[in-house]
Structure 1
Amino acid sequence: MDYRDWEILKVLYSQKNLTKAARLLFITQPALTNRLKHMQEELGVKIVTRESRGIHFTPQGEYLVHCAEEALAHYQKIKENVLNMSHDESNVIVGTLKLGVSNFFANYELPYILKLFKMRYPHVEFKVITGWSKDVTQLIHNKDVHIGFVRGNYGCRGLLKQLLFEETICIASKEKIDITDLPHLPRIDYKGDYLLKSLIDNWWAENYAEAPFISIEVDQVDTCKEMVINGLGYGILSSRMFTEIEELYKVDLTDQTGKSILRKTWMYYHEESLEWNVVEAFVNFIENFNWKEN
């Protein structure tokens, strides 16, 4: 058993699913299955059993997971102590930063942020896992990542959080439209996280008695954006997606009092993670980042 084996057991136990675990470990599912088989042969015990809903850990497997958590924590402490010593001696921050990032943030914000951070700290490496905000929240809770970037107000008890920015939700169209006639106009709909969908659905229910006329359904918000730009219908999207696009007609969603409906983007992390120089440096960098200019 080595470090990678302990890491595999911890992630596999948290996910209870080979496909999801392989994705988090940045390996293929067959490679993960072979590694697990090798561990079982080496120890002479059954670690997991496969079931219709995923995998189940045997009592021996449960014990090994407990050992894995202790071994990984000990290894990480040793590694961080060494890195901290290096930092104290040479004032150079090194290490690998694990980030969990919502799909939107990964596409529209993260590349520029990492570019600037890498310029300042060239010895830092990154592992980035993207997904829906709900899934990213789970990643940070499980400590599978050091820092999470989440859109929407998900419950994150026990974590430190930093509000990064707020954005409005807007109706966007190639041509000017009368929003009182919205139920009869073609809408481009897309798959989004459930908090955003609930927000839009609640707004619609408060303003219209009829269901929307969905002319095109897509599975990506970027596809919806391009179809709106090309005049195929209107879309209801985050205004930050159209920051550099001036030719569209846009109307912000408002509540019953006339106030704009806002969506917040947060940074989450565990307080103890700040003991790691690379995490502390990144958190400080984000806290001083000028989001309006980005």
Structure 2
Amino acid sequence: MDERDWLIIKVLYEQKNITKTAQTLFISQPSLTARIRQIEDEFGVKMIYRGSRGIHFTPEGDYLADCARKMLTNTRQIKEQVINMGTDIKGTLRVGASNYLSKHKIPRLLGLFKERYPNVEFNVITIWSRDICSLLFNQDVHVGFMRSDFGWRGEKYILYEAPICIASKKVITLKDLPDLPRIDYHTDDLHKALLDTWWNENFSQPPTIGMTVGYLDICKSMVINGLGYAVVPNDLLEDVGYIHKIYITDRQGNPILRKTWISLPPGNTRVKNGEIIFGLC
């Protein structure tokens, strides 16, 4: 068994599909199938069996998949430790971030990081904020940037806070909102619950949804073109000239904020004198 074999088991367990696993690993299906048989022969067990909905893992296969994840993590950590025993900080910083942050915030942060550590390269995984905790738990990333607090129990810090506002091309008032077209957008459940709570505390009727779009950037464009109003974090509008804004508050009059968190995986990252120290690979 070598590192490539452990990777095959890990990806196969994640994909539960021979074709997708072969595509992910850039190998042919016959080569993958032959290697799986060799792994099974080496351990003397049946690792997978085919069902009507793809492949399934036997109990022995489940155990090997868990071992594969641990083996790959341990191997990566050993490489990171050896690389960073030198005087220069080098290697690849693995970053997990939401689509919005990857487009608008992460490039500037990585640029500043690169100025200080020129020998570091980056691997940025763009994913929904709610899924970054899984990347952190499995130590697939060195650092995760999330737009909401999903209960990560490791180290985490507030990167910044953005007040939430009603954004519209034309001047409107709060009492107008139920009768105006609202531009909704797909977001995580925590942020949606925050907005729904605010709405229900202020209005007895549901909003009039004029359209629903996939991403904040699209929502922003719709607002700029006067197609409705939206309830969005203020930082979305930093580069926009004039947009009418009404900042929303809770019942106590406190501004409602969307927090962006920087979260760290267990064990492989530490904070020293206010600076995050990564083990890179």
Q: TM-score, normalised by structure 1?
A: 0.81
The amino acid across from 1:120 in the alignment is: R
Question: Does residue 181 of the first structure (1) align with residue 173 of the second (2)?
Answer: no
Unaligned 5+ segments in structure 1 are: 287-294
Residue in 1 aligned with 2:126? 130
Asked if the contact 1:170–1:239 (Cα under 8 Å) also holds between the matched residues in 2, the reply is yes
Residue 93 of structure 2 is matched in structure 1 by 97
**Matching residue's letter, 2:163:** T
Q: Secondary structure at the match of 1:217?
A: strand
CA separation of 1:285 and 1:66: change in aligned 2, threshold 3 A: closer
Name the CA distance, whole Å, in 1 between partners of 2:26 and 2:272: 34
The Cα of 1:135 is off from its aligned counterpart by 0.7
User: Residues 48-67 of structure 1 correspond to what in structure 2 (within 5 A)?
Assistant: 48-49=48-49, 55-67=55-67
Query: How far apart are 1:2 and its partner, in Å?
Result: 3.1
Is 1:160 matched up with 2:155? yes
Match of 1:238 among 233, 236, 239: 233
The Cα of 1:156 is off from its aligned counterpart by: 1.1
**Between 50-59 and 100-109, the greater mean CA deviation after superposition:** 50-59
The 1:120–1:234 alpha-carbon spacing in structure 2 relative to 1, beyond 3 Å, is: same
Greater per-residue helix proportion: 1
**Counterpart in 2 of 1:289?**
none
- Cα–Cα, structure 1 residues 148 and 280, in superposed 2: closer, same or farther, change >3 Å? farther
- Aligned partners of 1:12 and 1:98: how far apart in 2? 22
Deviation at 1:113, TM superposition (A): 1.1
Aligned residues with identical type, % of pairs: 44
Q: 1:110 aligns with which of 106, 112, 129?
A: 106
The separation in 2 between residues aligned to 1:259 and 1:53, in whole angstroms, is: 51
Aligned length: 272
Residue pair 2:132, 2:146 contacting (<8 A) in 1 also: yes
Between the aligned partners of 1:8 and 1:283, the Cα distance in structure 2 is 36
Matches within 5 A, 1:1-294: 1-13=1-13, 15=14, 17=16, 28-29=23-24, 31=26, 34=29, 36-43=32-39, 44=41, 46-49=46-49, 55-86=55-86, 91-157=87-153, 159-274=154-269, 284=276
Q: CA deviation at 1:266?
A: 0.9
Task: Render the CA deviation track for 1:106-151: whole Å, top value 9, x for unaligned.
Answer: 1110011112212222221222111211111221122222211111
Shift of 1:42: 2.1
Displacement over 6 Å in runs of 4+: 279-282
